Structure 1
Amino acid sequence: MHITFENINTLGHVVFESQQYKHIHYPEMLLRYDSNFIEFKKSPSLTEFKSAENYLRNYHLKNGQKHVKFYFPANEKPAVEILGYLNQSGYAIGFLELYTIQPHQFPFVINNSDIVIDVVTDKNFEAYLEFQYQQDLEFGSEFANQKIELHKRNFEDQNILQLIALYKGNPAGSVDVIISKETAEIDGLVVDENFQKKGIGSRLQKFVMEEFHDKTIILVADGEDTPREMYRRQNYQNHGYKYHADKVYEN
């Protein structure tokens, strides 16, 4: 199947849409930038971008949000004048990369009895929540608390499988799998910094490959972070990129 960014799950609601862009908003978690943004359908001129920027800024101010975020059309680099404006205005600019793999293409993973991968159930849900809370504290307690509520909603969603990795009995990693008819999306893969380089991330992925052997596995990676190099070594195939820009205001 032909995989694009349209196959990636977006957490949020379309509150406005025009020929130029879609406005995504998620009142359940206002601090989550990836759920509160504008996504351009076609590359904007500088005038069009400033108009969208003004609209989103005012919308977010009404909701007590201090950020604005924009996604640009897939596989298109923003125009030079847009990039110049973003840089001059204090935006952080980055890009995402889309990857896919067929489960049988994932490399062999050596079994390590110290690592156990469990599906999150009623029995281990509290341990899973505590692990997630500790991981999210670097973004502030308010964000971590809002994320806990999101994990609770995901727990009730039949289309989301939550996994936790234990290393010698200690929570050490986790991942959510968003399930659709033809794909399984790896989302939020994290390994605690105290347990990295032990093969936990690979074991989590291997579990996904075995559990969803009949689906295309998809994920999005930050184009400037090191995990993308790991995905490439693991035989994932690149299917495109998407630029984004965000800015946080003091008030």
Structure 2
Amino acid sequence: MKEITFKNINIIGNVIVENELYKQVHYPEMIIRYDSNFIEFKKMPSLIKLQEAETYLRDFHKKHNQQHVKFYFPENEKPCEEILTYLRFQKYDIGFLELYAIQPENFPAVDNHPEIDIQEVNEQNFNAYIKLQYEIDRQFGEDFAKQKIDLNTKHYFDSGIMQIIAYYQGEPVGSMDVIISDETAEIDGLEVKKAVQRKGIGSRLQQYVMDKFSDKTIILVADGEDTPKEMYKRQGYQYLGYQYEVQKIEEPNKS
């Protein structure tokens, strides 16, 4: 098994510019999806180089009616204090992601619960999955949720992505995508409605992946400052590294 890094994580978008310092990812089909429109530094920039990239990306996004600027820094490297001070002064949101992995046999067994039903998305339950995703995505805005329908539909026809839906007492309440590669299965977008959290639904979703892809390493990315990562640690996932990300949403121009 090769070393697993953030390079194993699926990115939705196209690399449109790449040089020695960074690569730019752009996804014109969904310009308001920040995780698909950004610059990722291949090596830590100086403050001057960061500012040059910032100016370039801001101008590029403005031409495409995008109101955000987002950067990823090299994994397992924290930006120096000079850069962090500048980013804080410019009112960027600063955070970091953490990469985790587990072998399916190490996942703690989850008992079946008669009220929880996990299904792969198919022709019969596709509409229920789309409706549930729309409800979940509305927290990021109505436009985002509407555009995400097209992306979810595209993923439905992608043989490299498995969509999974969870039912509780017959109602759709949770979902996730699994990005499949030769050696890994990546859990992405695991969501459970707040009203039915802490009932084991998230664990059952994960158990489904462990059973389905018992020959692969299961990987996922967690927000380094959010609580779900603590659950993953308790479940036996191994921490593999971190990556800093920063973004700023700019006010649209007023005429």
What TM-score do the two structures reach when normalised by structure 1? 0.99
Equivalent position SS for 2:7:
helix
Aligned to 1:53: 54
TM-score (norm 2): 0.98
1:62 aligned onto 2:60: no
Aligned partners of 1:29 and 1:200: how far apart in 2? Answer: 30
1:61-80 mapped onto 2 (5 Å cutoff): 61-80=62-81
Matched, 1:129 2:130: yes
Which segments of 5 or more consecutive residues in structure 1 lack a partner in the other structure?
none
Mapping of 1:84-163 within 5 angstroms?
84-163=85-164
Letter in 1 for 2:147: Q
1:30 aligns with 2:31: yes
Task: Find the aligned partners of 1:191 and 1:138 in 2 and give their Cα distance.
Answer: 13
**Which residue in 1 is equivalent to 2:185?**
184
Return the letter of the residue paired with 2:31: L
| Correspondence for 1:236 | 237
User: How far off is 1:111 after superposition?
Assistant: 1.4
The Cα shift of 1:139 comes to 1.0
In the other structure, the counterpart of 2:212 is 211
Give the deviation of 1:179 after TM superposition: 0.3
Alignment match, 1:170: 171
| Secondary structure of 2:195's aligned partner | helix
Instruction: Note the C-alpha offset of 1:108.
Output: 1.4
Superposition RMSD on alpha carbons, in Å? 0.5
Query: 1:189 is aligned with what amino acid?
Result: L
Q: Percent identity?
A: 60
Inter-partner Cα distance in structure 1 for 2:77 and 2:140: 30
Offset of residue 243 of structure 1: 0.2
The equivalent of 2:194 in structure 1 is 193
Separation (CA, whole Å) in 1 of partners of 2:175 and 2:201: 9
Q: Please state whether the residue corresponding to 1:118 is helix, strand or coil.
A: strand
- Distance in 2 (CA, whole Å) between partners of 1:199 and 1:169 is 15
Q: How many residue pairs align between the two structures?
A: 251
Structure 1 residue 79: Cα displacement? 1.0
Q: CA deviation at 1:194?
A: 1.1
Q: Distance in 2 between matches of 1:126 and 1:16?
A: 37
Structure 1 CA distance for aligned equivalents of residues 181 and 140 of structure 2: 30
Letter in 2 for 1:86: L
In 1, distance between residues paired with 2:68 and 2:30? 13
**Which stretches of structure 1, 4 residues or more, deviate above 6 A after TM superposition?**
none
For 1:246, what is the secondary structure of its paired residue?
strand
**Corresponding residue SS for 2:179:** strand
CA distance in 1: counterparts of 2:144 and 2:30, whole angstroms = 8
Instruction: State the Cα deviation string for residues 159-218 of structure 1 (Å, max 9, x = none).
Output: 000000000000010010000011000000000111101000000000000000000000
> Partners in 2 of 1:227 and 1:241 — Cα distance?
15
Measure the CA separation in 1 of the matches of 2:170 and 2:249. 39
- How far the C-alpha of 1:138 sits from its partner, in A, is 1.2
Q: Which amino acid aligns with 2:208?
A: F
**Aligned counterparts of 1:159 and 1:83: Cα–Cα separation in 2:** 38
State the Cα distance separating 1:225 from its structure 2 match: 0.6
